[in-house]
Amino acid sequence: MKCVGIVGVGAYVPEHVVTNSDLAKSVATSDQWIRSRTGIEERRIASSDMDTSHMAIRAAEKAIADASLHPEDIDLILVATATPDHVFPTVACMVQEALGIRHTPAMDLSAACSGFVYALVTGKQFIETNTYKNVLVIGSEKFSKIVDWTDRNTCVLFGDGAGAVVLSEVSEGKGILSFELGADGTGGKHLLVDNQTNYVSMNGSEVFKFAVRQMPESSLSVVKKAGLSKEDVDFLVPHQANMRIIDAARERLGLDKEKVSTTVTKHGNTSAASIPLALFTEIENGLINDGDVIVIVGFGGGLTWGSLCIRWGK
């Protein structure tokens, strides 16, 4: 069986920063209220003329370059998103057009905030079975277009952005060591886009209870599946939704704060883009290095969850 890993990373966030104090001017909230409940300080919001595909394209170009590849080397494009530009064509097809690689298969995958993990696992299978060599996996979201900006319970949480990786064969012992995917459709009612308003609707307490239970359990599960112990984990890259949820996963793994990504403070919750954005940021910060054991874990609407244990490197 081939070893499959990440050989290139890229990310993009819009220039426009919206702080907690900015939001306090339009809804009944405050910087202190938001920080104490979520850990979020600010988020990036895309302009009206920038959509999910535009951010996906920019992140993809960076990931391909980081992998020392050319667009024509990409054999499959997978985009995880809950906020596509259109019902169809897919964001993946729009990325394909922009990259100039006609006939390369391209598809979107929707598992809400867990989407990027689902897409990584999907791409892994195609490489392991010798179907494709290089798979481009993107998480891109413009959640600002499905958020009710008068609802302080949701508008303070989300931001826009994109992250991308290239999956390829890596050397023995490196790459994705194990994974877990799951879903519980009975909880779908707790986090959804309302058909009447087209806005995100969330039962915050139920989602919180689900997340603080599922994220640590799934993280520990993939570590065990990889034949490792939690003491072997060097860094945790969780879905960036809420600092209290992140802390719960960190404590179960017994990790110091310096070994956990907390980009939620600057990006907010970017849904399927949050994990690749965090991954890119921590690599840039020098916190993820060759040979490190990384746990990636996410949860989202569906309700869905997914995690991977990766030994970093090519």
Burial class (CB in 10 A: 0-12, 13-18, 19+), 169: middle
Mean pLDDT of 146-169: 96
- Spatial contact of 226 and 285, defined as CB atoms under 8 Å apart: no
pLDDT confidence band for 203 (50 / 70 / 90): very high
pLDDT confidence band for 1 (50 / 70 / 90): confident
Of residues 1 and 186, the one with the higher pLDDT is 186
Mean pLDDT of 103-118: 97
Can you list the alpha helix ranges (DSSP code H) found in the chain? 20-24, 31-38, 52-66, 91-99, 115-128, 152-155, 204-225, 243-253, 264-267, 274-284
Mean pLDDT of 167-176: 97
Q: How many Cα neighbours within 13 Å face the side chain of 285? A: 15
Q: What is the pLDDT of residue 248?
A: 85
Average pLDDT of the chain is 96
Of residues 250 and 62, the one with the higher pLDDT is 62
Q: What is the pLDDT of residue 249?
A: 85
User: Each residue of 277-303: pLDDT tens digit?
Assistant: 999 999 999 999 999 999 999 999 999
- Give yes or no for residue 164 having a pLDDT over 90: yes
Sign of the dihedral through C-alpha 39, 20, 271, 302: positive
User: Each residue of 208-227: pLDDT tens digit?
Assistant: 999 999 999 999 999 999 99
Q: What is the pLDDT of residue 252?
A: 84
- Give yes or no for residue 45 having a pLDDT over 90: yes
- Give yes or no for residue 41 having a pLDDT over 90: yes
User: Each residue of 250-271: pLDDT tens digit?
Assistant: 888 889 999 999 999 999 999 9
Annotated catalytic sites, by residue? 113, 239, 269
Q: Cis omega before residue 276 (within 30°)?
A: no
Can you list the alpha helix ranges (DSSP code H) found in 45-145? 52-66, 91-99, 115-128
